[in-house]
Each structure stands twice: as structure tokens, then as C-alpha cells.
Amino acid sequence: MKIFVLVEHRQGKVRDITYELLTVGRELAEKFNGEVTALLFGGVDEKIDRLKKNAHHIILVEDEKLKNFNAELYQKALVPILKDEKSYIMLIGHTAFGIDLAPALATELDVPISTDCVGIQIEDDNFITIRQMYGGKLNAKVSFCEPGRYIITARQAAFPAKDGNLDGKVISMPSPVGEIDYRKFIEYVEPPIEGVDITKADIIVAVGRGIKDKDNIPMVEELANALGGVLACSRPIVDAGWLPKERQVGSSGKTVKPKLYIAIGISGAFQHLVGMKGAETVIAINKDPNAPIFNEADYGIVDDLFKVVPVLKEKIQELKKG
Amino acid sequence: MDIIVCIKRVPETAEAEIKVDPNGKDIVKDTLNFDINEADNYALEEAVLLKEKFGGKITLISVGEEECEHILRMGLARGADDAIRITDEKFSELDGFATAQILYSVIKDIHFDIIFTGCIATDDGYSQVGPTLAELLGIPHATLVTSIEVKGGIARVHRELEAGLLEAVDIKLPALFAVQTGINKPRYASLIAIRRAASKELKVLSSKDIGLEEPRRKIKIESLFVPPVTKRAEIIEGSPPEAAAKLAEIIKEKGLL
């Protein structure tokens, strides 16, 4: 069994997910008595010593067109490497890149794919992936209907990266990618911060879907003010246009590390949790006792936020005067 | 501009308690509300916005039983022209590939410039149907799309990357776009439009009609289970005022006031 790992890089640097995938890859290689091959397309602007430590082989396809990610071109580069292999696991990050690439690649190769996996295990000789459903409220054990070749996209930060001590050999390959006219990378766009920079706050009070209406947001903002903190939110609040994008905590928003993080009406989907994991103390207020946020929080109140938040604000004000 | 929008009916689970049913492979659904998948709702609105700009026809497609006619009619009331429901007893336990294969069997015979899907379904979370369908049709795609501007047969789209970063990409039409939530502000249908849509005929197709006897499943859900808990919050008990008072004390003790 061969293990392939797609090296994900952006703006000249290898991204963390790559080392997480390589760690999983080495564990699988040990189980299956195989070797890990890292696939580096386009090249990066940094030394690849760490990649060498973590893979047995590195296939390097140097091509300016592959420097920036492009799902169509990456697929064209991957297919010739994989199409004649009979037995392999291809690991790709479940990232903005992987989501764009992996399902189409699996379709062209006619290989089964399991996406957004948080666990990989062998049970009675069956290859099983664990993936989350219903916003992280349940896990699913997923098996493959056709054995032999597997494509797996792994969730970011689900598999901790541990560096190996290999000395991977670099194999340069000519680029199989020609010019295409149907997809072109133009540029990266970074939205400017116009108001509050929540990443600098010591105390954050974040509001989520449970708030139900825009008119209820001031209630939470008053609590934030009473604490001397800033107001932040989860994705649905930004999607609804109730707060600006710069207030969003999560994988597509900001990563914050405050001393205190209070999550109000936030169920705790993975995309939100990755943005606030670094908080020192986390408090959650949510009416669903099984909400995943309670597995991340230090303290929780399981109740109606509309009953808890106003009195909490009063108690904070009393203690501050106190 | 002719547009196809693929939509899915899903249970609303973000704010609900979820339980695994006795067979262990699905959830208990009879206590849950169902509606159009969140990202699909934005995809539908994006289609209506493009139709308002360029004209053309919007066709909605959903794979599902009779209950999913509700979301198709809501889509018609919001501005779609036709709705197709694909249904068959054999279409159970569909994975992302099987769903894409069913959609492909219908869409291959329809004219379109753009296909929209949501970028993720809130139930299974596969994020797979859009790009798989595009590959089957042999057209380019982009996922996690947060804006679209069409000019001369090319769409300039923004894709959402991590940490607030976006990438601008040009995609030649015909193409498929898997839309991210928040791309627009989905409208509500007027009462008159809802009434008009209620009597509109929906096209219902079976596996025979679409020439796909058995969609091919490539993965299988063996079981569902509650994720193992590695850490659990200390739950503060009591009435809201009692719990709030205790919590305020904890915040004070930690020196955070």
C-alpha cells in the first residue's frame, strides 16, 4: 500500500495541514508496511528540510502554473501519478484547496472518497474513517464500498503533527500540465479591518445563531461592555448581515486567544472552535446540553440565553462596583 | 442565462438536540423541522440575482421524497421557473457520489450556463456533490464561492480560503459554483408568489425516467455515535439568576473583572 500526501502551500509557504497529513501518512505506512510520498507541486519559497524529515519520498513538479493552487491544474498533475496505482491511500487536507480538488479528482480516477475525516482506523480488516455530521453533534463510522484505493480528506487540526526523522529523497518530475483557458488564478484578496480588531481583546463575548434576531444583539453587547470586552460572533451572524466579517471567530474568520471567551447561543461547530481554542477560560451559555461547545468550555450554563444574559450583566456590574 | 440550482431538504439541527435512531445509522427525525439546506438557500438567491440581471430560466432540482416539494415550491415562489424532483425507492442511503450521479443523469439533457449548489450540506457535511457533478459533466467548477461577477462568458469568483483570505479566480462558463453562506441576502417570497407557486406543476422523475437503475455508492455509513468527550465544562446549576450570580463570582475570582 502506497501512501500519498498532497503538500498544501500558499504564498510560498507549506501549510500546517501538510505536516498533520504526513504524520497520519507515516502511521498508516507503518500499519500497511508502505512508504509515504509527499507530492509538492509548483515549489515553495522556503527550504523543504521539514518535508524531507516527514516523508520517504518527495515528488517535486516544478511549474510556475502550479505555484498558486488551481483545482483543475492540480488534478491534471495528480492523475498521471495515481492512475496506474492499484493500491494506495491519497491524503489531502479538508481545506479550501482540498474541498475544491479532492471530489473531482476521486471522480476522474473512479476512486471512493471520504471527506472531512477526523479519524482513520482498521476494524476487522476493513478500512474505516470517522467523520462528523450534523455540525459536529454526531460522529459517523464510514466504510468504503470498493477496496484498494482510497482518497481521504482530513480535517485541519484533527490529527496532531509530530515530526519524523526520515531523510526523504526528492524526485523531480516534469510537469504534465499544459495551458488551460477555463480556470485562472487571479490574485489573493485580503479584506481590510475597518473597526475593532478582536484578535487584540482580552475579553470576548461572542454571539451565535441562538440569538435569533438582530434586535437581540445589543443585549449581548451590553454584557461585553459590562465586562470591558468586545463583541464577536460565529458565522451565521455575519451571513445574516447582523455584524461585520471582522467580528467573526472561526476558520474563515479570526483566530483569537483572549483571557476570557464567553460563547452565547453558539453550538460549537468545528469551524468556530478552531478560532477560539486558544482562549484561556471559556464559558458557554446554550440551551442544548449536548452542544459541542460544552466540550470546549471550562464552565457552562444550560439554559435559555435570554434569561441568563441580562442577569449576568447585572451581576457583573454589581461585582465591579462592589 | 440558463441556471440550474440543486437544492436539498435537510433537518434543522444547529439548535436542536439530536438523537441516534435504534438502527444506529440515522437520526431520529420526527421531532425535527426540515427546510432547504442553508448554503443551497444562498445558491438559489444567487441564481435569482443573475436571472434579474441577464434574463433566462432557472430550473430547480432536488433528490427526495414528496416532502421536499415544499422547498421546490418555495424556490418557484422566489423566482425559479421550473422544478424537478427525482425520487425512487432505490435512492436510499445516498453518498455524495450517488447523489451527483443522479443529478448528472437529469442535468446532462438540460441546457445551462451555470449550475449552483451549496458548498456544504448541514446534515452529512460531505462538501462533495458540486465538484463531483461538475467532473461528471466535464465542466469547470469553483467551491466556497463568496461572490460572482459574470462578463462575456467568464465568471470572476471569489473563493473563501482560511483566516479571512479570499482568492479571485476566473472560470469559463458553462461552469458549476458551490456557493458559501453569506454570499447574498436571500429574499422572502411574496404571498402572491407563494400562492401562484402552490398550484404549479412539478416534474417528478423516477430512476427509470432518468435511465439510472441503481446509483453507485462508494462509501457507506456503518454507524452514528455521539463523539467521545475529552473535556467537559463544569455545568453551573440553578435558576438563571442563581447560575448567573455563581458565574459572575467565578469570573471575578479569576481576576477578570
pLDDT band at A95 (very low <50, low <70, confident <90, very high): very high
User: Residue A308's closest chain B neighbor by CA?
Assistant: B240
The answer to whether the CB atoms of B16 and A288 lie below 8 A apart is yes
Helix (H, G, I), strand (E, B) or coil at A160: coil
Note the pLDDT tens digit of each residue in A141-186.
Answer: 999 999 999 999 999 999 999 999 999 999 999 999 999 999 999 9
Strands (E), A158-245: 169-173, 183-189, 203-207, 230-233
Q: Do the Cβ atoms of A232 and A198 come closer than 8 Å?
A: yes
B interface mutation test: which of A79, A257, A312 has the most B CBs within 10 A?
A312
Is residue B216 in some structural domain? no
The answer to whether the CB atoms of B122 and A135 lie below 8 A apart is yes
Question: CA B197, CA B82: separation in Å to the nearest integer?
Answer: 10
Mean residue pLDDT of chain B comes to 96
Is residue B205 in some structural domain? yes
Task: Measure Cα distances from A194 to A19, A214, A244, A245, B7 in Å.
Answer: 34, 21, 10, 10, 35
B interface mutation test: which of A301, A306, A320 has the most B CBs within 10 A?
A301
Select the residue of B220, B236, B245 nearest A299 (Cβ to Cβ): B236
Question: A238 vs chain B: nearest CA distance in angstroms?
Answer: 7
Note the pLDDT tens digit of each residue in A267-320.
Answer: 999 999 999 999 999 999 999 998 999 999 999 999 999 999 999 999 999 999
Q: Which residues pair with B158 in a beta bridge?
A: B147, B168
Is residue B150 in some structural domain? yes
Q: Average pLDDT in the A91-99 region?
A: 98
User: Residue A127's closest chain B neighbor by CA?
Assistant: B219
pLDDT band at B231 (very low <50, low <70, confident <90, very high): confident
Q: Can you give the CATH number for the domain in which B23 is found?
A: 3.40.50.620
Note the pLDDT tens digit of each residue in B145-165.
Answer: 999 999 999 999 999 999 889
The answer to whether the CB atoms of B128 and A260 lie below 8 A apart is no
Q: Which domain holds residue B85?
A: 3-210
The answer to whether the CB atoms of A183 and B125 lie below 8 A apart is no
Which positions 42-61 of A are in contact with B (Cβ < 8 Å)? none
Which chain B residues are closer than 8 Å to A240 by Cβ? 182
Number of domains making up chain B: 1
Contact status of A192 with chain B (Cβ, < 8 Å): no
Prior bond to B174 cis, omega within 30? Answer: yes
The answer to whether the CB atoms of A319 and B249 lie below 8 A apart is yes
Note the pLDDT tens digit of each residue in B57-85.
Answer: 999 999 999 999 999 999 999 999 999 99
Is residue B239 in some structural domain? no
Question: A53 vs chain B: nearest CA distance in angstroms?
Answer: 26
Contact status of A195 with chain B (Cβ, < 8 Å): no
The answer to whether the CB atoms of B170 and A186 lie below 8 A apart is yes
Question: CA A89, CA A202: separation in Å to the nearest integer?
Answer: 43
In the predicted model, is pLDDT for residue B95 greater than 90? yes
Is residue B91 in some structural domain? yes
Which chain A residues are closer than 8 Å to B165 by Cβ? 188-190
In the predicted model, is pLDDT for residue A192 greater than 80? no
Select the residue of A115, A295, A301 nearest B127 (Cβ to Cβ): A115
Residue with cell 450540506: B121
CB pairs under 8 A between A and B: 280
Kindly provide the ipTM of the predicted complex, given to two decimals. Answer: 0.95
Contact status of A274 with chain B (Cβ, < 8 Å): no
Is residue B253 in some structural domain? no
pLDDT band at A137 (very low <50, low <70, confident <90, very high): very high
pLDDT band at B169 (very low <50, low <70, confident <90, very high): very high
Note the pLDDT tens digit of each residue in A4-28.
Answer: 999 999 999 999 999 999 999 999 9
User: Residue B159's closest chain A neighbor by CA?
Assistant: A96
pLDDT at A253: 93
Note the pLDDT tens digit of each residue in B21-40.
Answer: 999 999 999 999 999 999 99
In the predicted model, is pLDDT for residue B109 greater than 80? yes
User: Residue A270's closest chain B neighbor by CA?
Assistant: B125
Note the pLDDT tens digit of each residue in B200-225.
Answer: 999 999 999 999 999 999 999 999 99
Pairing of the two strands B34-36 and B9-11: antiparallel
pLDDT at A236: 96
The answer to whether the CB atoms of B123 and A133 lie below 8 A apart is yes
pLDDT at B14: 87
Select the residue of B20, B144, B219 nearest A112 (Cβ to Cβ): B219
Is residue B102 in some structural domain? yes
pLDDT band at B15 (very low <50, low <70, confident <90, very high): confident
Which chain B residues are closer than 8 Å to A315 by Cβ? 244-245, 247-248
The answer to whether the CB atoms of B164 and A290 lie below 8 A apart is no
Which chain A residues are closer than 8 Å to B17 by Cβ? 288-290
Q: Which of A225, A279, A276, A282 is closest to A254 using CA atoms?
A: A276
Is residue B31 in some structural domain? yes
pLDDT at B228: 87
Note the pLDDT tens digit of each residue in A114-125.
Answer: 999 999 998 887
Amino acid identity, position A179 = E
The answer to whether the CB atoms of B167 and A312 lie below 8 A apart is no
Select the residue of A96, A259, A316 nearest B162 (Cβ to Cβ): A96
